Amino acid sequence: MSSDCVKELIDSFSHVESGALLDRVVLCAAAVGGTPYAGFVDVDPLQEIAYPSHALIAPGDPLGVSRWLLESGVLKELAIASDPVLLPQDWSVGGPGFLAVPVPLATRDQAYLWVAGRRFTNREEHLLGRLAMAAGRAIEASRGLEVAARMLRSVHAFTA
């Protein structure tokens, strides 16, 4: 009987997938930003390295955001920043418009949630910041559930 209970608990803890959660947050960020470009940038502040992850890019990338992220220097800026980064839309220098806000995480290095592709206002910065805060909590919670499920698997192994 206790084995069934533990198995059910493992099943309920295992329903949240971190990758799918990140993909959904990126979709919501794009909706909040009113643009087809959004994603996460993971930052290693000790090495001052940043790299894009879980990106949503418009089909065919008509604004060249993928290339711009890698070549513009914005990743270096995010690697050393701790506050939101807002870059204006300026096509004379290839700038598509960019907004990135920190995602509060306790169990891993720093991350930013970003949107690109138009001019952003303080309103979008505020909304994206709130989304990033909620995303940070959800990411931490999903990781906690993954750890709990692994721990319960060992309990289940000894009670089956």
Structure tokens, 123: 């309103």
Contact 81, 91 (CB under 8 A): no
Q: Would you say residue 157 has pLDDT above 80?
A: no
Q: Would you say residue 2 has pLDDT above 60?
A: no
Domains of the chain, by residue range, sit at 17-143
> pTM of the predicted model, to two decimals?
0.84
Q: Would you say residue 98 has pLDDT above 80?
A: yes
Of 81 and 8, the one with more pLDDT:
81
Of 156 and 82, the one with more pLDDT:
82
- Please state the CATH superfamily assignment of the domain spanning residues 17-143 in this structure: GAF domain (3.30.450.40)
Confidence band for 85, pLDDT divided at 50, 70 and 90: very high
Q: Would you say residue 159 has pLDDT above 80?
A: no
Q: Which helix (H) or strand (E) holds 88?
A: strand 85-90
Q: According to the model, what pLDDT value does residue 1 have?
A: 45
48-66 average pLDDT score: 94
- Reduce the DSSP state of residue 48 to 3 states and report it: coil
- Reduce the DSSP state of residue 113 to 3 states and report it: strand
Q: What percent of the chain has pLDDT over 90?
A: 58
- Distance between CA 136 and CA 38 in Å, rounded? 16
Q: Would you say residue 5 has pLDDT above 60?
A: yes
- Distance between CA 118 and CA 45 in Å, rounded? 28
108-131 average pLDDT score: 93
The mean pLDDT of the chain is: 88
Structure tokens, 97: 């418009």
